[in-house]
Amino acid sequence: MTSSIRPVGPGVALVTGACSGIGRALAEGLAERGHDLVLVSQREGPIGEAAREIAAAHGVRAHAITLDLARPEAAGELYAEVLRRGIEIDVLVNNAGVFFFGEVADADPDRANAMLQLHVVTPSLLCTLFTRGMRARRRGRVLIVSSLSAWRDIPGIAYYGSSKKYLRGFARALRSELSVYGVTVTCLAPGATATALYDPSVVPVDLGKRLGVMMAPRDVARAGLEALFAGEAEHLPGGLTRAMALGAVLVPERVIGLLRRHAPWLRPVGR
């Protein structure tokens, strides 16, 4: 594998959180379209393996960068590394994410801070840094992965849902800013997806897959990339996800109160 990637064919795509789940599937889908890749994750072994496998399978050049994107300096460090290697990014995919259940008052401050850095600060700054070049070249695409949870505030995922709601709003504003320069921004908002994001002791992922209430990462990625290259502003993959988004908007607040009292992932009321 060479030490640098030069923009050939459809250009280079940078994908964060690319060693597994939706991120890995997005990287594979981009490679199928002929994009060379820059894949980013804090997991050195898996991200290197992903880069090698995708490059071999699709005949593209892929490079792995190991970096903890939950650190305040991460966006600047990643941008500097990409510049150092002489790479020009044509497609930016902000996908990296984490998840946990629990009430705000019970959250570990370090864990909450890491989530906010990863979901809010780093993707925002990556957009600032990388879209400057896209704007100057008057071409480029940005995919920001939000979540169905951005449609309704749910107890037990206040940090997660609020950060994903931020990403949805950020994507809308960024799209308005960049569209006049020929740069598109798409927000992908998946519902429940069968990935390692969830703790299997809390969320029955295998059962969700069997019942069809959890989408496969590859299906989410395929829908997201189709939306990205069609220039869509926002996309909820799957009919069930779209129905749940509508339901989330329409559900009465008293139902949310009942959820709070009976949700198995929250502290029992009265204790």
Could you give the CA distance from residue 222 to residue 229 in angstroms, rounded to a whole number? 11
User: Span 241-245, mean pLDDT?
Assistant: 86
Q: What burial class does residue 135 get, using C-beta atoms within 10 Å of its C-beta: 0-12 exposed, 13-18 middle, 19+ buried? A: middle
Beta bridge partners of 38: 14, 63
Do the beta carbons of residue 123 and residue 138 sit within 8 Å?
A: no
Mean pLDDT value of segment 68-92: 98
Place 66 in a pLDDT band, splitting at 50, 70 and 90: very high
What is the per-residue pLDDT across 87-99, written as a single tens digit (0 to 9) for each? 999 999 999 999 9
pLDDT exceeds 80 at position 64:
yes
User: Residue 98 and residue 243: Cα distance in Å, rounded?
Assistant: 24
Q: Which domains occur in the chain, in start order?
A: 12-262 (3.40.50.720)
As a whole-number percent, the residues of the chain with pLDDT over 70 amount to 89
Model confidence over 112-141: pLDDT tens digits?
A: 999 999 999 999 999 999 999 999 999 999
Q: Give the span between the Cα atoms of 57 and 187, in whole angstroms.
A: 28
Q: What percent of the chain has pLDDT over 90?
A: 72
The answer to whether residue 1 scores a pLDDT higher than 50 is: no
Mean pLDDT of all residues in 208-212? 51
The whole-number average pLDDT for the span 162-191 is 97
Give the confidence band of 179 by pLDDT, cuts at 50, 70, 90: very high
Mean pLDDT for the chain? 90
Q: Pick the residue with more confidence: 143 or 216?
A: 143
Q: What is the pLDDT of residue 201?
A: 58
Of 216 and 121, more confident: 121
The band of 252, judged by pLDDT with boundaries at 50, 70 and 90, is confident
Q: What is the pLDDT of residues 18-35, one digit of tens each?
A: 999 999 999 999 999 999
Q: Catalytic site residues?
A: 160
pTM of the model: 0.88
pLDDT of residue 146: 97
Distance CA 171, CA 211 (A): 32
